[in-house]
Amino acid sequence: MLRKKYFALFAVAIITFTLPLQAQEEKPLRDGAKQALTQHYIQAVKRAVSRKLRPPADIANGSKCTVAVGLVYPNEVIKVQIEYCTGGGRELELAVEKAIWSAEFPSPQHKAIFDQKLIIEITF
């Protein structure tokens, strides 16, 4: 069973994680500990992506991009696919792709909070 976590990226983006409820090969985490580790991981991902994001100067307010990011444990980006992007054209898509490829994704502190696919939604 999977559950989704939603959070904002410095009031600029919303990143959606699909997280496994419990990794079978790992010692289970208490709910409070898992929640704390997940929040720490989320904050680290926010910082990594926002540091690299340089949108085009002529971007329209309300522009949005949804991006699927494939990861290999612990933190290697192996795929970036723009699923939907409005209000900025190909320049915006390229800026978002570049930010994700160049961001240094953090390693999660516990395997139970890692997922191979992140859906990142960015709103400008």
Q: What is the pLDDT along the chain (124 residues), one digit of tens a residue?
A: 445 544 444 445 555 554 444 443 456 778 788 889 988 887 888 789 889 999 999 888 889 999 999 999 999 999 999 999 998 899 999 999 999 999 999 999 888 888 898 888 888 8
Measure the CA–CA gap between 41 and 36, rounded to whole angstroms.
9
Number of domains in the chain: 1
Q: What is the CATH number of the domain that holds 89?
A: 3.30.1150.10
- Determine the pLDDT at residue 29: 76
pLDDT for 11 equals: 40
- Residue 68 is part of which domain span? 2-23+30-123
Contacts 24+ apart (CB under 8 A), 84-90: 87/59, 87/60, 87/62, 87/63, 87/124, 88/55, 88/56, 88/59, 88/60, 88/63, 88/124
pLDDT at site 13:
52
Q: Residue 83's pLDDT is what? A: 96
